[in-house]
Amino acid sequence: MDKILVHGGPALRGNVRISGSKNSALPILAATLLTKEPCIIHRVPDLSDIHYMLTILSELGCEVERASGTVQIKAETVITDAPYDIVRKMRASVCVLGPLLGREKEATVSLPGGCVIGDRPIDLHLRGFEALGAAVRVQAGNVKVLAPELRGATINMRGKFGSTVLGTDNIMMAAVLAEGTTVIDGAAEEPEVVDLADFLNKMGAKIEGAGTRRIIIEGVKELHGAEHTVIPDRIEAGTFLVAAAICGEEVTLQKVAPAHLVSVTEPLQRAGYFVEANCDTITVRRNGGCLPLELETQPYPGFPTDMQAQMCALLATSQGISVITEHVFPQRFMHLAELKRMGANIELQGATAVINGVDQLSGAPVMASDLRASAALVLAGLTADGVTEINRVYHIDRGYESIDDKLNQLGAKIERVKGSK
């Protein structure tokens, strides 16, 4: 397995181009199952999660062609049984359920298990499918949804941890081909949901209200092919913002959507950094010391759970006591033990991390446990004294396009050591 060696110390400066959003691209690629006609998707990031999704689509019968960031998919005929071996590798493969149900009125997909960020149920997705008239059966580790016909309904997607992003996506994708009107209340408001709705509307769907808590979908008879460019990845961008805060002189992110990043740029400003946003760029500059912060993760437009680990890395060396509470995935704190091995002073109280900033972290061998935790360890390594050796880096390749190369272009010193698979 590959590992990454981060040599701490060098300051970051220059420009970095942000890739297309993984969390937008995954459901958008799945949505191409809704039409027999070809679809063309641009700015698809080169990530292992995207590779898994394209493999699943091929296995389901789609013709898939990929040239750099552009993917062309034609789903002339599809089968409705997603292959376990690939599906189990990526939880987001659950988002083929909605389009398969919409188009073929049935689908079978392996049930996603738990993961290191906690129990990951799909009860809200299934409740939504049932409301549309589907029978849901869980058997032998698979979930099978079957609906002789899909009928529009009013569905509430809110659970005890807020709304569900992929659940909202799934119900939208099933409802676009249902008979009549579907109202999704308590819908996820994430920009990725809006991006999917924009793509579906280009395919001929009638969706209003995406980006608000109530989405209204007027079912149509069929969808056609469409061309779409995926929005910028706000979590990759947020990760580079924090990298710049940790050890940047001046770093400019290019091709970003600053409006999607307010919940990250605002706390950075509060912590004392200079942040300037223009139409599709954000510049971050050190502006004296970094002050402590109190943050709570929340569904969009709140501070994203996908930025919690990276922010812990920043606050680990900020003067004073910072507090981060995780409301979306309360068990998502595996990175703390690794940060502590690097010298961080962090105490976990329930779902709250109390971080007492230290002057400097020290490089150590650490283990990546999930995608964002691995990014946090890379960021921590950027300022640590000595070398941080990060193992299990396949996690980081799931969601960051060439993070080592991009950081190196900014002046970091990161080596990737190839290992046996």
- Considering only 25, 53, 122, 174, the residue that binds ligand UD1 (CB under 6 A) is 122
- Considering only 50, 124, 295, 342, the residue that binds ligand UD1 (CB under 6 A) is 124
Bridge partners of 163? 158
Least separation in angstroms between CB 200 and ligand UD1: 16
In terms of CB distance, is 32 or 164 closer to ligand UD1?
A: 164
- Considering only 75, 92, 176, 223, the residue that binds ligand UD1 (CB under 6 A) is 92
Q: Which residue has the tokens 């009928």?
A: 151
Least separation in angstroms between CB 161 and ligand UD1: 3
Least separation in angstroms between CB 73 and ligand UD1: 18
- Does position 407 interact with ligand UD1 (CB under 6 A)? The reply is no
In terms of CB distance, is 12 or 188 closer to ligand UD1?
A: 188
- Considering only 129, 240, 329, 333, the residue that binds ligand UD1 (CB under 6 A) is 329
3-state secondary structure the chain: CCEEEEECCCCEEEEEECCECHHHHHHHHHHHHHCCCCEEEECCCCCHHHHHHHHHHHHCCCEEEEECCEEEEECCCCCCECCHHHHCCCHHHHHHHHHHHHHHCEEEEECCCCECCECCCCHHHHHHHHHCCCEEEEECCEEEEECCCCECCEEECEECCEECHHHHHHHHHHHCCCECEEEEECCCCCHHHHHHHHHHHHCCCEEECECECEEEEECCCCCCCCEEECCECHHHHHHHHHHHHHHEEEEEEECCCHHHHHHHHHHHHHCCCEEEECCCEEEEECCCCCCCCEEEECCCCCECHHHHHHHHHHHCCCCCEEEEECCCCCCCCHHHHHHHHCCCEEEEECCEEEEECCCCCECCEEECCCHHHHHHHHHHHHHCECEEEEECCHHHHCCCCCHHHHHHHCCCEEEEECCCC
- Does position 238 interact with ligand UD1 (CB under 6 A)? The reply is no
Site string for ligand UD1, 50-89 (x = CB under 6 A): ----------------------------------------
In terms of CB distance, is 263 or 383 closer to ligand UD1?
A: 263
Least separation in angstroms between CB 270 and ligand UD1: 22
- Does position 398 interact with ligand UD1 (CB under 6 A)? The reply is no
The residue range among 119-127, 195-203, 240-248, 409-417 that interacts with ligand UD1, by the rule CB under 6 A, is 119-127
- Does position 328 interact with ligand UD1 (CB under 6 A)? The reply is yes
CA distances to 116, 130, 374 from 400, in Å: 18, 35, 10
The residue range among 116-124, 194-202, 208-216, 312-320 that interacts with ligand UD1, by the rule CB under 6 A, is 116-124
Least separation in angstroms between CB 419 and ligand UD1: 27
Query: Is 115 an annotated catalytic residue?
Result: yes
Which one is catalytic: 39, 62, 115, 279? 115
- Does position 121 interact with ligand UD1 (CB under 6 A)? The reply is yes
The residue range among 57-65, 157-165, 175-183, 205-213 that interacts with ligand UD1, by the rule CB under 6 A, is 157-165
Least separation in angstroms between CB 400 and ligand UD1: 13
Q: How many residues form the binding site for ligand UD1 (CB under 6 A)?
A: 22
- Does position 306 interact with ligand UD1 (CB under 6 A)? The reply is yes
Least separation in angstroms between CB 21 and ligand UD1: 9
State how far Cα 247 lies from the chain centre.
Answer: 24
Distance CA 158, CA 161 (A): 8
Site string for ligand UD1, 160-189 (x = CB under 6 A): -xx-xxxx--------------------x-
Residues with Cβ within 8 Å of 48's Cβ and at least 6 positions away in sequence, in order, are: 394, 397, 398
Which residues are annotated as catalytic?
Answer: 115
Residues of this chain that bind ligand UD1 (CB under 6 A): 23, 26, 92, 120-125, 159, 161-162, 164-167, 188, 192, 305-306, 328-329
